[in-house]
Structure 1
Amino acid sequence: MLELPVIDRPREEASADEAGSKDSRGNYAFISLGCPKNLVDSEKMLGHLALDGYTLVSEPQGSDFVIVNTCGFIDSSRAESKAVIQEMIDLKQAGRTKGVIVAGCLPERLGGANLRAEMPEIDHIVGVFARDEIAKVADRLVGNVNEQREVFRPAPIRALDDRARLRITPSHYAYLKISEGCNRTCTFCSIPMMRGKHATKPIEEVVAEARELAADGVKELMLVAQDTTYYGIDLYGEMKLVELIEELEQVDGIEWIRLMYLYPVNFTDRLIEKIATSPKVIPYLDMPLQHVNSKVLRRMSRRVNRERTEALVRKLRESIDNLVLRTTFIAGFPGETEAQFEELVDFVQDMRFERMGVFPYSIEPGTPAVKLDGHLPEDVKAARVDRLMQVQQQIAFEFAESLVGYELDVLIDGNNGDGFSIGRTFADAPEIDANVYVRGAEGREGEFVSVEITGRDDYDWVGEVVANDA
């Protein structure tokens, strides 16, 4: 496993020692955008390039080329990807880098020809499932070979192997992708267009990757997929998430297993019991619900209704001690009435999700929701997002206040340079949730530290290392 230090920037820009080896084939900069699943793809590409002799540098300026691994999920993410690409093209035209390679979901979403027509200065394009050919593409760019400037491959029947990554997360935590693609037919979602059908990574391969990560110092594994609860159905003919968890529990060195992107269907009693009793699965579940009104859910093709949704949330609360639930909702879906939105507001107030995100409905060309009636004005969607987040803010503040005075295990992620270390409790995933600002934990990055929570700062906490743990 190759390792890279974490970069504290709004978007992930991979960095390394600028002094490349004498036999380097060239140097390059790397920018990774989008979700953790995309981040794993970035790390795999970095691994291929390192093994092929390319040297990673901190900044695009002065590099032989720049790779931008893009996101194409919604309009705002596509706009961000294009803005970053244009920034790199501007550097190239100013003579400050020699080439620009664009990879990932944006080319898959738009098509290579369309992207090249819009941004002809791009040198090479690499699709999502051609990521393992990135070194060959770099060879063509550095060698001034203009053949095969677009490389796309069909979605694989089995998930790609993610071992031998060069990681851009801190050494003590890592994302572990357990499957690729999605078989759901949510009417608002373009992911199947970019990532294909669900492809389960075999249990033995996931476990082998986990062992590799643990040997490299990883203590927290975050299991990610487009649909985590679907794991195993396509490959084994039945759900195998419980069996996977049982195998991962045996991996020495892994102390926390965090479950992300759990679709609310396929939550069996057996899975809930495993989460509740596992010595390593922490009581934090990321479960995107998207809405609660049954009619809206039906128009979304979520294959669940309010009754089942509410029953599942209550069952999880009753079965799993100290459970923290993260979810996401879409506000302003086509046809959403004021009454249906108020039903969602009431549901959020009643369920009291500790962590929550809200997105305005985004028109995604090619998805079934585009053809639905009742599309709402942008200002209405924005107002509904604001209203729902205001409700959630108070809930999150009250949750944060409820933990003041408690002693909790905190995983230290780094130092803010102002006398505080920055860490996370079990209730918080990296980048998206709250932090704990800790006094007395200097030099303990990557360690679990017992911390007394002494106060809160909006969503975040402040605390001090307990004396007997110092």
Structure 2
Amino acid sequence: MNNLHIITLGCPKNSVDSEALAGWLDPSRWRLVQDVQQADVVLVNTCGFIQPAVEESIDVILDLERMKEQGAIRSIAVVGCMVNRYGEDLKKEFPSVDYWAEAEKWQALAQAMDLGSRSSGRKLLSSSPWTRYLKVGEGCNTRCSFCTIPSIRGPLKSRSPEDLVQEAVAMVEEGAKELCLVGQDLTVYGLDLKGKPSLPLLLDMLEDALPEDLWIRLFYLHPSRVDRALLERVLGSPRIVPWLDVPVQHVDDRILRAMNRPPVEAHIRELFKIGREMYPDFAFRTTLMVGFPGETEESFQSLLDFVEDVRFDRLGAFTYCAEEGTPAALMEDQVPQEIKDGRYAELMELQQEISLSRQRSFVGKVMDVLVEDVDEEDGTRWGRSFRDAPEIDGLVAISDAEGVTPGQIVKVSISDASEYDLFGEILR
């Protein structure tokens, strides 16, 4: 019996890939282990999107090489986005790696490693079976000037809605209480299959097939293609949580044109205003970039003004990285790292104040919370509301919840709030 440990780096889409890869394992010859110290073979599913992710992946490979030299593990496999991007160079740099595979080339890898002869579908790798990711497709046609995804993953390739529904039903049967739909851009799902975006069709098919108490969460929605109809579709559904992830990146028209993205400031302002008029608690998450080439103090201030006005519930940000092979890396007026870091800190300080204000608006309300963990010392249960995406957003701490186990959805009366977390008591 061979013991295999899988390390997944990067975004939730990589987690889906790791589960698909694990489905190739022949259980009569391969056993998945949670501890790398128990492994004979270690497989690392890499991220190659931006330089910090590449550096993290390389650090992991270096650690595995040392383990192999010491005899702690027998073999190393490196797969995923970083191999797509730097494959031949990596093979020269790391000759002790035994197996290489580009993202989604799992059948060839399974044959090379003698994992098994056929896939049994996705295999749960997380200790949280109640929250699962459903990847609707791969690749991207948008080609933002700063982004490496099209060169790594290729053009849009949507999965059939029938396959997605079948996979979703299987995950619910395995205990899923929340399905997070992910892709490079959810709003163009199905364009390559049906000649037009087909996300509403997919949502209809999922809702017809899935139980009413399931949560469906939508990630990675391009701002120019989110409209009132989608907001109404979300609010009219008993399953789709009123939380949308809309990565805006920036609002200055000149910067957006340089990013090869359409100007969206007026559209987004109006859209989010409509959403909050429809439902004041509608949760909006975004991602912003600071320090893109040519970003001046004026254009950065316009970004701060936009964030102040829109008041996102959740906001992630990162400093621009000049990625090799992208048009933006060749642009003039690159912003010094010191200035980028300062702008990042200023943006996040502003968002912290906004987040606390939005959080406090939920004090006194009753919310459904999906319980995820139990603090063994004081018995506090920790979970997430509709406003909290797994791994990236805040949590809800629940007191007086004896007997409540992870995976349950319970009603919680909110009594206090911090910048990112809520606190409350279970409503019996």
Distance between the aligned counterparts of 1:448 and 1:411, measured in 2? 4
Q: How many Å apart are 1:121 and its aligned residue?
A: 1.8
CA contact 2:131–2:177 (8 Å) conserved in 1: yes
For 1:347, give the aligned amino acid.
Answer: F
Residues 138, 234 of structure 1: alpha-carbon distance in 2 compared, 3 angstrom cutoff = same
Alignment-derived partner of residue 10 in structure 2: 34
Distance between the aligned counterparts of 1:320 and 1:195, measured in 2? 37
Distance between the aligned counterparts of 2:244 and 2:407, measured in 1? 22
Residues 273, 458 of structure 1: alpha-carbon distance in 2 compared, 3 angstrom cutoff = closer
For 1:461, give the aligned amino acid.
Answer: L
Q: For each residue in 1:77-98, what CA deviation from the matched residue of structure 2 results, as whole angstroms up to 9, or x when unmatched?
A: 1111111111111100011001
Question: What is the SS of the residue equivalent to 1:109?
Answer: helix
Q: Does 1:290 align with 2:260?
A: no
Distance between the aligned counterparts of 1:132 and 1:297, measured in 2? 40
Residues 457, 269 of structure 1: alpha-carbon distance in 2 compared, 3 angstrom cutoff = closer
Question: What is the SS of the residue equivalent to 1:34?
Answer: coil
Q: How many Å apart are 1:168 and its aligned residue?
A: 1.7
Q: How many Å apart are 1:237 and its aligned residue?
A: 0.8
For 1:432, give the aligned amino acid.
Answer: I
Q: Does 1:416 align with 2:392?
A: no
Distance between the aligned counterparts of 1:396 and 1:269, measured in 2? 24
Q: For each residue in 1:303-361, what CA deviation from the matched residue of structure 2 results, as whole angstroms up to 9, or x when unmatched?
A: 23322332333233334452100001000000001000000000000000010011000
Alignment-derived partner of residue 383 in structure 1: 342
CA contact 2:283–2:313 (8 Å) conserved in 1: yes
Q: Does 1:402 align with 2:361?
A: yes
Question: What is the SS of the residue equivalent to 2:141?
Answer: coil
Distance between the aligned counterparts of 1:40 and 1:81, measured in 2? 18
What RMSD over aligned residues (CA atoms) do the two structures have, in Å? Answer: 1.8
**Structure 1 residues 241-256: aligned runs within 5 Å:** 241-253=199-211, 255-256=214-215
Residues 101, 229 of structure 1: alpha-carbon distance in 2 compared, 3 angstrom cutoff = same
Q: Does 1:305 align with 2:280?
A: no
User: TM-score scaled to structure 1, two decimals?
Assistant: 0.87
CA contact 1:40–1:162 (8 Å) conserved in 2: no
* Alignment equivalent of 2:81, drawn from 99, 105, 111: 105
Question: What is the SS of the residue equivalent to 1:265?
Answer: helix
Alignment-derived partner of residue 231 in structure 1: 189
Alignment-derived partner of residue 185 in structure 1: 143
For 1:394, give the aligned amino acid.
Answer: E
Q: How many Å apart are 1:457 and its aligned residue?
A: 3.7
For 1:164, give the aligned amino acid.
Answer: R
Alignment-derived partner of residue 220 in structure 1: 178
Distance between the aligned counterparts of 1:432 and 1:105, measured in 2? 21
Residues 31, 50 of structure 1: alpha-carbon distance in 2 compared, 3 angstrom cutoff = farther
Alignment-derived partner of residue 92 in structure 2: 117
Distance between the aligned counterparts of 1:217 and 1:179, measured in 2? 23
Residues 341, 134 of structure 1: alpha-carbon distance in 2 compared, 3 angstrom cutoff = same
Alignment-derived partner of residue 331 in structure 2: 372
Calculate percent identity across the aligned residue pairs: 39
Alignment-derived partner of residue 454 in structure 1: 415
Q: How many Å apart are 1:51 and its aligned residue?
A: 4.8
Residues 269, 351 of structure 1: alpha-carbon distance in 2 compared, 3 angstrom cutoff = closer
Q: How many Å apart are 1:132 and its aligned residue?
A: 3.4
User: TM-score scaled to structure 2, two decimals?
Assistant: 0.95
Q: How many Å apart are 1:62 and its aligned residue?
A: 4.6
For 1:434, give the aligned amino acid.
Answer: G
Question: What is the SS of the residue equivalent to 1:95?
Answer: coil
Question: What is the SS of the residue equivalent to 1:49?
Answer: coil
Alignment-derived partner of residue 238 in structure 2: 279
CA contact 1:32–1:39 (8 Å) conserved in 2: yes
CA contact 2:17–2:104 (8 Å) conserved in 1: no
Distance between the aligned counterparts of 2:417 and 2:264, measured in 1? 36
Alignment-derived partner of residue 158 in structure 1: none
For 1:171, give the aligned amino acid.
Answer: P
Distance between the aligned counterparts of 2:92 and 2:339, measured in 1? 34
Structure 2: state its 5+ residue gaps. Answer: none
CA contact 1:275–1:320 (8 Å) conserved in 2: no
Structure 1: state its 5+ residue gaps. Answer: 1-23, 143-160
CA contact 2:36–2:42 (8 Å) conserved in 1: yes
CA contact 1:178–1:231 (8 Å) conserved in 2: yes
CA contact 1:71–1:77 (8 Å) conserved in 2: yes
**Structure 1 residues 55-70: aligned runs within 5 Å:** 55-70=31-46
Q: For each residue in 1:201-254, what CA deviation from the matched residue of structure 2 results, as whole angstroms up to 9, or x when unmatched?
A: 111111111111111111111000000000111110112111111111123335
For 2:297, give the aligned amino acid.
Answer: E
CA contact 1:28–1:64 (8 Å) conserved in 2: yes
* Alignment equivalent of 1:348, drawn from 297, 301, 307: 307
* Alignment equivalent of 1:393, drawn from 352, 370, 373: 352
Alignment-derived partner of residue 394 in structure 2: 434
Q: How many Å apart are 1:61 and its aligned residue?
A: 2.5
Q: How many Å apart are 1:268 and its aligned residue?
A: 3.9
Distance between the aligned counterparts of 2:48 and 2:294, measured in 1? 25
Q: How many Å apart are 1:162 and its aligned residue?
A: 9.7
Q: How many Å apart are 1:163 and its aligned residue?
A: 3.8
* Alignment equivalent of 1:82, drawn from 48, 58, 68: 58
Q: How many Å apart are 1:272 and its aligned residue?
A: 2.6
Distance between the aligned counterparts of 2:281 and 2:365, measured in 1? 13
